Structure 1
Amino acid sequence: MSIVKHQDLGRVEGPVLLFGGPYSNLQALHALMDAARQRAIPAERMICTGDVVAYCGDPSATTDALRAAGIPLVAGNCEKQLAAGAPDCGCGFDAGTTCDLLSEGWYGVANAQIGPDQRGWMATAADIISFSHAGQRFAVIHGGMTDIARFIWPCSDRKVFEEEWAAVEAAIGPVDAIVAGHSGIPFTKDCAKGRWINAGVIGMPPHDGGQDTRFAVLDQGQVTFHKLGYDVEAAVAAMERAGLTQGYHSALRSGYWPSEDVLPPELHRAALASG
């Protein structure tokens, strides 16, 4: 059984900025840092839920920028795979689906750009981060604790949340809330033992038809979601220069993912439109 790397940030005072999935989108990461400065939130009170590298065109520069900022990072499946020199992203897409096929393109670009020193840094990232805030204990993971690439949605069965909560507490003890990422959709859900918070991702819009991405702020125990605007055209241009024109570049403009393969039916465009 592998050892869980646990980083305890201790007691954190003041607002905490939670975000996931920079996804090689350097422009979005720069915009997020600007948003943090406007809120007077320093890097030590920002936490990334992983997947620094993915769909967009600047994997190396995005990695260097996040690393230089000193923001605490939970390892995503992309960090794990690149650190191990694996041939694919390990995203959890079903074999042969559009998402699976598209991942070959962007992962190949990232694998070619990310160097040994960057992979070494990725290998040091925690599997789980904990901290105390406003009298509550929080755990931060990537997808699930049982499976780093588990897609967990607001409509997932309650047993999914119970399984993951039990796995987190088996690793680090009782918690009042769990912060996660991976799925790309921001939400909160009241569970039997506390709140499940998905902070969303900054590198890709949440399949809602808008270009803005999302991050979350935890302040005095309350979570709020915020839209993040950034230079979309510069991000698209970076993808085009990298040869990443298979669909995700269009998603930055349209606000819709190139495939709904990974989404549950309740979150498909047609279902949301009719709802």
Structure 2
Amino acid sequence: MDPKIEQLEKVSGKALLFGGVYSNLQALEALKKIAERENIASENCFCTGDIVGYCAQPEQTVQLFKSWGAKSIVGNVEIQLRENAADCGCDFNEGSRCDDFSQLWYPYAQSRLSENSLDFLKTLPNNLHFEYAKKKVTIVHGSYFNVSEFIFKSTDWSLKQPNFDVTKSDVIIGGHCGLPFYHEHKGKLWLNPGVIGMPANDGNPAVWYAILDDANNQFNYTYQSLDYNYQLTSKLMQNGLLPKEYAKTIVTGIWDNTEILPTIEENQQGHPIEF
């Protein structure tokens, strides 16, 4: 078995998919309540990585995630933190606004995580693989080949297909890019549930996640928006140590810049997302 993949038992019943918690404790608390309301067991809750990120409560967020018992793979942020690296490993262009902002939020997070939290991050696998409704599923962060690769809906299928080939998967669940989407092609499905730590550049402070349902032994998925106490999240970020632009994004739902986005996604800024 490829050592990069942790093989799980067959998963059945409802499953919760989400990514990019980004140290947003209020969003994680709200999502946990959704899982409890939907009777989704913690072992059926899957995160695509980057539990830690832009917001103000990295330690509290990791500890809540740990106590909840949800499953996660590593994002680039977890890899960098547990290796005590000097930067977030997001693959931002040097000198870009995202790169400049990362020089604020990454050392902030680094300075506030306990050894206990870092030890927890070291337990997270690179990828998860399981069967769901007769489909072989692999969870990646960016891509199987590069944790920091930005894969969007508009990304050409020729760049997605090798992920299915090497993992022998029917479904890839991805993260990292910050936008929810699905892309089906010749019986294969790339599904990104979105992130809960930051809005999806759609002009709405609500964030995104997805729910799987195997009713009638079919692979069903639905996207849901999550309302949470974003005013508190934004207020906590206005501490003089984190980018004030990100605190604004939490409220407005609009990204400060679109440096990472392909033209198609860039042109969708401020447009409501519908599934």
Question: Normalising TM by the smaller chain, what interval?
Answer: over 0.9
Shift of 1:156: 0.5
Identity %: 33
Alignment of 1:130-169 (within 5 A): 130-167=129-166, 169=167
- CA offsets, 1:45-99, max 9 Å, x none? 1001100000111011001110111111110000000000001000111111111
The residue that corresponds to 1:118 in the other structure is 117
Partner in structure 2 of residue 80 of structure 1: 79
Q: Deviations over 1:138-167 (max 9, x none)?
A: 111111111001000000012110232234
Residue 264 of structure 1 corresponds to: 262
Unaligned runs of 5+ in 2: none
Does the CA contact (< 8 Å) of 1:51 and 1:78 recur in 2? Answer: yes
User: Hey, what does 2:176 align to over in structure 1?
Assistant: 182
What is the CA–CA distance in structure 2 between the aligned matches of 1:231 and 1:247, rounded to whole Å?
A: 18
Contact 2:201/2:270 (<8 A) preserved = no
The answer as to 2:6 corresponding to 1:12 is no
Query: Matches of 1:138 and 1:225 in 2, distance apart?
Result: 18
1:203 aligns with 2:197: yes
Question: How many angstroms does 1:267 deviate by?
Answer: 1.2
Q: Is the 8 A contact 1:57 1:242 kept in 2?
A: no
Instruction: Select between 33-42 and 22-31 the one with higher mean Cα deviation.
Output: 33-42
Of the structure 1 ranges 189-198 and 57-66, higher mean CA displacement relative to structure 2 is found in 189-198
| Deviation, structure 1 residue 272 | 7.0
Structure 1 alignment gaps of length 5 or more: none
Cα deviation for residue 9 of structure 1 reads: 2.1
1:11 is paired with a residue whose SS is coil
Aligned residues of 1:265 and 1:271 also touching (Cα < 8 A): no
Aligned length: 266
Query: Which of 248, 251, 254 pairs up with 1:253?
Result: 251
Q: 1:238 aligns with which of 212, 219, 236?
A: 236
Q: 1:16–1:42: structure 2 CA closer, same or farther, 3 Å change rule?
A: same
Hey, what's the Cα distance between the residues in 2 that align with 1:28 and 1:267?
A: 24
CA contact 1:109–1:242 (8 Å) conserved in 2:
no
The separation in 1 between residues aligned to 2:153 and 2:52, in whole angstroms, is 24
Aligned to 2:34: 35
Q: Residue 130 of structure 1: CA displacement?
A: 1.2
2:99: which partner in 1? 100
Native 8 Å contact 1:75 1:142 kept in 2: yes
SS at match of 2:72: coil
Shift of 1:270: 6.3
Give the conservation status (yes or no) of the 8 Å contact 2:150–2:177. Answer: yes
> RMSD of the alignment, in Å?
1.5
